[in-house]
Amino acid sequence: MIEERLVKECFEKQFGTDRCAIFTAPGRINLIGEHTDYNNGFVLPASIDKCITVAIRTNQTTTVKVYSMDYDESVIFDINGEKPAQQWACYIYGVVQEMKKRRAPVGGFNAVFGGDIPLGAGMSSSAALESVFGLALNDKFELWFSRRDLAQIGQMTEHNYVGVRCGIMDQFASLCGQAGKVIKLDCQSLEYEYFPFNPEGIKLVLIDTMVKHSLASSEYNVRRSQCEAGVAVVASHKKKIESLRDITMPLLNKYKDEMDPVVYKRCAFVINENQRLIEGCAALDKGNYKLFGKKMYATHEGLSKEYEVSCKELDFIVKIAKTHKDVLGARMMGGGFGGCVLSMVEDKAYDSYIDDVKQQYKKEFNIDPRVIDVVISDGAKKWLAKKEIAD
Ligand code: GLA
């Protein structure tokens, strides 16, 4: 995590005072339940020890001045004005607009932010950005949004200002995560429960393919539409069907002939993935991480063959994982088309697995993969600095 002190120092350099409040929000991993959130299904994410940290102070105007430490770039926009040109600033602008839509008395502010969530690696750096600004503005302008509201504000920022019709998993995990626990979130009711996830002698590690396919966000929206098309077919026969959550495999099969085969495949994946998550949680309850790992492999298979959001680089790493018997589970994580493979590895096998992946991956693609160890850590929070002064 970037040190809070560095962000504060940078704020002072930019704005000539260190009188600011500090907030931080993490990226996330997702253990199982992929592409289920926007289908009203279940997900099992956790917040991690890689964060975005913001130093912020209100400025009594309607102007927002933000400096990104990672891009070494400043942006100024008016909260009542046009969307800024820089993509990263659109996330902040979007959060402000979504708050205004909800009649929140949000005003101008000065801010600096930086972090250590690898960009574009599928660890939800954008959700962390929305969440950290959501939490900071909520606090500084006393808006009284709940964390659940803030997650929705972040999600709607993606829909309306970035163009990705994402689900709510990433923002929810960033805002509501707890150290050592995964969140079983029901994306239909937004009810959630925590499951302890601290297997002794087992590590979680991400291997970043370093591949970012430009198709990611357009294909994401296509997948969402395909799921909606499947739901529409079933709903034309059964009135109360609203999402794939309401459809079982026998029901889907009943109308299979009326569906495009690709649509059928997508829907079948989502229905089975929800089931896998429920079985995965039962395994966690019994401390059976081996069985949980098997579910992760099955999820990858489905994402690769049925949902078709994997790519050759991700498949390659998962194939290597399967040759190491002490890699209990591995799968691509997040939206897909690049990004990371999440693996659950026994400590004793960690070094040989990582060495093997590094070597073989380099040989196959001439790319060095990036290895990112992750620890499940707390969600977004305000830093209670000793010297904090209220605006
Ligand atoms: C991205 C989206 C999430 C979710 C995942 C796939 O991370 O932002 O809402 O849909 O992809 O599970």
What are the extents of the domains in the chain? 4-197+377-383, 202-374
Contact call for residues 117 and 52 (beta carbons, < 8 A): yes
Cα Dmax for the chain: 67
How far apart, in whole angstroms, are the C-alpha atoms of residue 252 and residue 232?
11
Mean pLDDT of 3-15: 95
Q: Which SS3 state, helix, strand or coil, does residue 122 take?
A: coil
How far apart, in whole angstroms, are the C-alpha atoms of residue 63 and residue 60?
8
Nearest CA to ligand 1 atom 9: 167
Q: What is the pTM of this model?
A: 0.95
Q: In angstroms, what is the span from residue 31 Cα to ligand 1's centroid? A: 12
Q: In angstroms, what is the span from residue 100 Cα to ligand 1's centroid? A: 25
pLDDT, position 386: 54
CATH topology of domain 202-374: Alpha-Beta Plaits (3.30.70)
Q: pLDDT grade, residue 155 (50/70/90)?
A: very high
3-state helix, strand, coil in the chain (%, to 5): 45, 25, 35
Q: pLDDT grade, residue 246 (50/70/90)?
A: very high
Nearest CA to ligand 1 atom 8: 166
Ligand 1 binding residues, C-beta < 6 A:
34-35, 37-38, 124, 166-167, 169-170, 334-335
Question: Which atom in ligand 1 lies closest to the alpha carbon of residue 35?
Answer: 12
Q: pLDDT grade, residue 390 (50/70/90)?
A: very low
Question: Which atom in ligand 1 lies closest to the alpha carbon of residue 34?
Answer: 12
Contact call for residues 330 and 344 (beta carbons, < 8 A): yes
From 123, 166, 299, the mutation candidate for ligand 1 (largest count of ligand atoms within 8 A of CB) is 166
Question: Which atom in ligand 1 lies closest to the alpha carbon of residue 220?
Answer: 11
State the CATH class of domain 4-197+377-383. alpha beta
- Tens of pLDDT, residue by residue over 25-84, are 999 999 999 999 999 999 999 999 999 999 999 999 999 999 999 999 999 999 999 999
Nearest CA to ligand 1 atom 1: 335
CA-closest candidate to residue 96, choices 146, 139, 138 = 138
Q: Which SS3 state, helix, strand or coil, does residue 155 take?
A: helix
Degrees, nearest 5: CA angle 374-277-376: 20
Question: Which atom in ligand 1 lies closest to the alpha carbon of residue 37?
Answer: 10
How far apart, in whole angstroms, are the C-alpha atoms of residue 227 and residue 39?
7
- Tens of pLDDT, residue by residue over 319-365, are 999 999 999 999 999 999 999 999 999 999 999 999 999 999 999 99
Q: In angstroms, what is the span from residue 158 Cα to ligand 1's centroid? A: 11
Q: In angstroms, what is the span from residue 38 Cα to ligand 1's centroid? A: 8
Residues in a beta bridge with 182: 195
Give exposure, 6-16, as e/b (b: 16+ Cβ within 10 Å): ebbebbeebbe
Residue 213 clears pLDDT 90, i.e. is over it = no
Structure tokens at 23: 């907030």
Contact call for residues 310 and 300 (beta carbons, < 8 A): yes
Residues carrying an active site annotation: 170
Decide the pairing of beta strands 192-196 and 109-115.
Answer: unpaired
- Tokens 């009810």 belong to which residue? 191
Cβ neighbours for 132, distance < 8 A, ≥ 6 positions apart: 23, 24, 25, 51, 52, 53, 54, 113, 174, 380
Question: Which atom in ligand 1 lies closest to the alpha carbon of residue 124?
Answer: 7
pLDDT, position 389: 47
Side-chain-facing half-sphere of 306: CA atoms under 13 Å: 20
Q: In angstroms, what is the span from residue 36 Cα to ligand 1's centroid? A: 8
Structure tokens at 254: 């009943």
Q: In angstroms, what is the span from residue 77 Cα to ligand 1's centroid? A: 29
